[in-house]
Amino acid sequence: MLGIEVSRLARCNADWYHLLDLCAMTDTLIADADGMYHPGDYNDRLVLGLKGTMSEAELHVLRSRLNAGLRHKAARGELRQLLPVGLDYDQDDRVVLSRDEAVRAAITAVFDRFDELGSARQVVLSLRADGLRLPRRSAGARVIRWAEATYPAVHDFLTNPAYGGAYVFGRTKVSRRLDEAGRIVVRDQELPREQWEVTIPDHHPGYVSWQTYLANQDRLRANVHPPKGQGGGAVREGRALLQGLVVCGKCGRRMLVGYSGPDGRVPRYLCAQGLRLYGSARSCQSLSGRRLDAAVVEEMFTVLQPAALAATAAALAEAEDQHARRVRAFELGVERARYEAQRARRQFDAVEPENRLVARSLERDWEVRLGTLRQAEADLAAQQSRRPAVLTEEEVAWLSHAGADLRAVFDADTTTIRERKQLLRLLIGEVVINVDRDAGQAAIRIRWEGSAHTDITVALPRRGVDSAIRTEADTLERIRRLAAHYDDATIARLLARQGVITATGLPFTRDRVGSLRRKHRIAGPSEPVGPIDEDVHMVSIAEAQTLLGTSRATLYRWLASGFIRGEQHGPGGPWRIRIDAELQAKITPDAPEGWVGLEAAARRLGVAKQTVLDRIQRGELNAVHVNRGQRKGLAIQLPPPEDALFAATP
C-alpha cells in the first residue's frame, strides 16, 4: 500500500487502527515518503500509530478553527444565512425586504391580523375566510409559491425573529442519541431565546419591530392550552371574562373557572389546586364570577373614560382601513396573475407555429394562466363589493357622540364574549383576589399592563342572622338538577370533581348532600318532582338520535353551537337533550326556498362560519336542519342585501 501521506487513508484513529489490523493479518506492507512499514512489527506499528494520532489531531484543530471563524463572523452579524420568504440579500449582501409588493403585503397582513385578533388560529381562519393566500419558499430556493393559509405557515411568520429585524445565530442545536436498536438518531432541537448564541436586534429592516416581536411571543405562549388544572390559554367562548387572568392571593396559583346554574353558564373562579394536587381538606378560596367580572369591568371603564372619544374616532376609520388593505392584497394578486398570463403569451408568440410539440405545451400553460387571472379578478370584484357603507357627515357625528360610551359598545349584543375578553387582556395583566368571608368582602388588586395597579373591594353576600351557613343559589340549583337522576353519593362525587364545596369550604359527602336536600326539600331520583310538561321533555343522546333522525356527532356539534339545548350533570356526565315543539320545527326534510348552507352563508355575509353560528345562537339568524337529501345539514335564512351589508361584522 503506497501513499505520500498514508495516514490520510483514515480520518479517525478507530478507522486507522482497523486498517493496520487488516494489513498485519494479511502481511501487507505500507509505504509513504518516509519509508516502508510492516504493521505486524512492533516498531513499525508504533510509528504508524503516531502518524495516525497526529493526523487526527491536525484535523480536529482545523475543524475547530473553521468553526471559530464562523462564530466570530456570526457574532458580527456578517455570516450569510438562508433567509425566509419576504427577505432577500441585495448586491452588497445586506438584508432587505422583498421587492415583490404582493409578498410584502401578504406578510404584513399576517402581523396586522395577529395584532387585531390575538391568536394564530384566528389569523388562519380570517385569511382563509377572505381568500388571501400566503407566499412560501423552500429552504435555499428562489421560486416563491402561493398557498392557502395554514397554521404552520402563520406560526412560522410570527415566530421567526428575522421578521422582527434581528440577526440570530444558534437557534437550534444537534442532539444525538441511540435508539433501542443501537442506531444513532440525529435531530435538530430548538433552543429557548435565552440560549441563542447570537442575537442582534435592529440588524436589518423587519416587518415588525423587535419589541413587537417579543410581545407577539408572549401572546403566543399565553395562548398555549395550559395543563389540566391550571388557568390561562387563549380566549374562548365561556362567559368568565377574566378567564386566565385571575390569581389566588393566598397560594399564587392561577384560579380555575367553573360553571353552574340552570343552563350551566354561571361562572365561578375557584382555587382548588391544593385539594386536587395535595389532598387538602378544603380549597384556598372561590368567588362568584359575575361579581368579580362586573367590578373589574366597571373599574376598567373608569380608567378608560378619558380615552373613549379617541377610541371611537379610531374605530370609525379602522373598518375602512381594513377594507382598503384587503382590497390592496387582491389587487396585487390580480397584478401578479396578469403578469404571468402576459409572460405565458409572450412565450407562446415567440415559438415557431410549425413547432407544434412546444407550441401545444405553451398554449396549455397560457390557458392555465388566463384561468388564474379570471379567478383573481373575480375574487377582487367580490372583495370590493364588501366595502362598508360610506357614512354621511351627520351619521359620523352621531356615531362619534353615541360611540363615545365604550361601555355601551362593550355590553352590546353584537359584541361577542371573545371580543370582550380580548379587550380586557389588552389592558389587564392579572387580577389578584383575597376573599375574607368573615368580613364579607374580597380584596381585588388589578395589575394593569405596565407597572400600575388598582385596589378595589367587592362585597360578598351577607349571611343571615338566623343561619350561620347559607349555600349559594347556583350550588342548590346544581344539586336539584343532579338529584333528579343520581343518588347522594354520586352527587357528592360529581361535585368534588367540579371543585364545588360547601358554604363552610368543606368538600361535599353523601351525608352533606342528603342533609342539604332534606333541608331545602329537594326531591330524590325516585320521588315526585312536580307536574310534568307533556310538550317539553328531556331525553338521552340515543333517544334524541332516534327522534331527530341525526347522528351522535351532529348532536354534540349542535350542543356546542347552541342550535339545541341540553343538560350535562357534571363534567363527563351524560347529556340530556331538551325536546320541545320549537326544536322539532327546526328539523325538516327539505330546506325552505331561498335558504342556504353554512359555507354559502359565511361567504355571502363575508364572515367566518363560527361567526354565523354565533349569530344563530344569539337569534340574529334563522336556521333549520335538513335531515335528508343532498342538502343535508344547516339551512340558514339570510337577511336582505341592504341589511346584510350593515350586519356584517368586521
pLDDT for position 391: 52
**pLDDT, greater one: 466 or 330:** 330
What Å distances lie between residue 154 and 97, 104, 116, 147, 618, CA to CA?
18, 14, 14, 12, 31
pLDDT at 533: 43
Judgement on whether residues 67 and 92 belong to the same structural domain of the protein: no
Q: How many domains does the chain have?
A: 5
Nearest to 288 by CA among 270, 272, 268: 268
Lowest-pLDDT choice from 150-159, 297-306, 370-379, 595-604: 297-306
Residues 210 and 157 in one domain: yes
| pLDDT score of 262 | 59
Q: What is the pLDDT of residue 230?
A: 52
User: Does 582 have pLDDT greater than 80?
Assistant: no
Per the prediction, the chain carries an average pLDDT of 78
Are 356 and 493 members of one domain? no
Same domain, yes or no: 208 and 157: yes
Q: Would the pLDDT of 61 be above 50? A: yes
- Which stretch of 37-41, 494-498, 608-612 has the lowest confidence by average pLDDT? 494-498
CA 14 → CA 11, 21, 51, 53, 95, distances in Å? 9, 11, 13, 10, 44
pLDDT of residue 309: 47
pLDDT over 60 at 2, yes or no: yes
Q: Are residues 371 and 297 both part of a single domain? A: no
Q: Specify if 635 maps to a domain.
A: no
Rounded mean pLDDT of 280-305? 76
Are residues 297 and 171 part of one domain?
no
- Greater confidence (392 vs 455) lies with 455
- Of 408, 430, 459, the position where a domain reaches its end is 459
Lowest mean pLDDT among 123-137, 174-188, 405-419: 405-419
Least confident among 25-39, 89-103, 391-405: 391-405
Q: Is the pLDDT of residue 227 over 90?
A: no
Q: How is residue 483 annotated by DSSP?
A: H
Which residues 6+ apart lie within 8 Å of 98 measured at CB?
Answer: 85, 86, 87, 88, 104
pLDDT band at 175 (very low <50, low <70, confident <90, very high): confident
Instruction: Render pLDDT for 182-205 as a digit per residue (tens, 0 to 9).
Output: 888 888 888 888 889 999 998 999
509 part of a folded domain:
yes
CATH code where residue 181 lies: 3.90.1750.20
The partner residues of 596 in beta bridges, in order of sequence, read 636
According to the model, what pLDDT value does residue 501 have? 77
Q: What is the pLDDT of residue 529?
A: 40
- With cut-offs at 50, 70 and 90, classify the pLDDT of residue 206: very high
Separation of alpha carbons 69 and 339, rounded Å: 44
Quote the CA–CA distance of 208 and 217 in Å, as a whole number. Answer: 13
Query: Torsion over CA of 327, 329, 330 and 332, rounded to 10 degrees?
Result: 120
d(CA 542, CA 550): 10
Indicate which CATH number applies to the domain containing 318.
1.10.287
Final residue of a domain: which of 414, 430, 459? 459
State residue 406's pLDDT score. 66
Same-domain status, 273 and 402: yes
Higher pLDDT, 565 or 23: 23
In a domain, 94, yes or no: yes
| In a shared domain, residues 168 and 254 | no
> How far apart, in Å, do the first and last CA atoms of the chain sit?
79
Please determine, for residue 383, whether its predicted confidence score (pLDDT) is greater than 50. yes
Q: Is residue 619 one of the residues assigned to a domain?
A: no
Residue among 1, 56, 4 at smallest CA distance from 34? 4
Mean pLDDT of 164-177: 89
Residue 643 lies in a domain: no
Do both 129 and 154 map to the same domain? Answer: yes
The C-alpha cell of 529 is what?
318532582
Domain enclosing residue 425, as ranges: 246-304+398-459
Residue 510 pLDDT grade (very low, low, confident, very high; cuts 50, 70, 90): confident
Residues comprising the chain, all counted: 650
- Binned at pLDDT 50, 70 and 90, residue 165 comes out as very high
| 320 and 450 in a common domain | no
- Residue range 448-472, pLDDT digits in tens: 776 677 888 888 765 544 444 567 7
DSSP state, 305? G
Residue of 465, 501, 48 lying closest to 287 (CA atoms): 501
Assess whether 119 and 184 both reside in one domain: yes
